[in-house]
Amino acid sequence: MMGLVWFWLVAVMIVGYVVLDGFDLGVGVLHIFLARTEAERRATLASIGPVWDGNEVWLLAGGGTLYFAFPLLYASAFSGFYLPLMIVLWLLILRGVSLELRNHIDVGVWRALLDGLFGLSSALLAIFYGAALANVLRGVPLNTDGYFFLPLWTNWRPGVQPGILDWYTVIGGLVALVALTLHGALWLSLKTGGELEQRARAVVPRAWGVLIVLTIVSLIATVKVRPASLDNYFHYPGTFIIPAGVVASLVAIFVWNRKGAALKAFLASAVYLFFMLAGACWGVYPILLPSTTGAANDITLNRALSGPHTLAVGLAWWLFGMTLAIGYVVFVYSRFKGKVDSAAGSH
Residue range 28-54, pLDDT digits in tens: 999 888 988 888 888 999 898 878 877
pTM above 0.95, yes or no: no
**Confidence label for 344 from pLDDT (cuts 50, 70 and 90):** low
Domain map (residue ranges) of the chain: 9-306
3-state helix, strand, coil split of the chain in percent (to 5) is: 75, 5, 20
Give the span between the Cα atoms of 172 and 158, in whole angstroms: 13
Q: What is the mean pLDDT of residues 97-103?
A: 84
What percent of the chain has a predicted confidence (pLDDT) above 90?
48
The separation between CA 321 and the C-alpha centre of its own chain, rounded to angstroms, equals: 21
Give the span between the Cα atoms of 221 and 209, in whole angstroms: 19
Give the span between the Cα atoms of 44 and 193, in whole angstroms: 10
Nearest CA to 280 out of 210, 332, 327, 233 is that of 233
What is the 8-class DSSP label of residue 105?
A: S
Neighbours of 202 (CB within 10 A): 13
Q: Evaluate whether the domain defined by 9-306 bears CATH number 1.10.530.
A: no
Specify the DSSP element, H or E, that contains 156.
none
pLDDT in tens, 209-254: 999 999 999 999 999 999 889 999 999 999 999 999 999 999 999 9
Give the span between the Cα atoms of 12 and 157, in whole angstroms: 31
Give the span between the Cα atoms of 51 and 191, in whole angstroms: 13
pLDDT in tens, 110-167: 888 999 999 999 999 999 999 999 999 999 999 888 888 888 888 888 888 888 999 9
pLDDT of 6 above 80: yes
pLDDT of residue 133: 92
Neighbours of 106 (CB within 10 A): 7
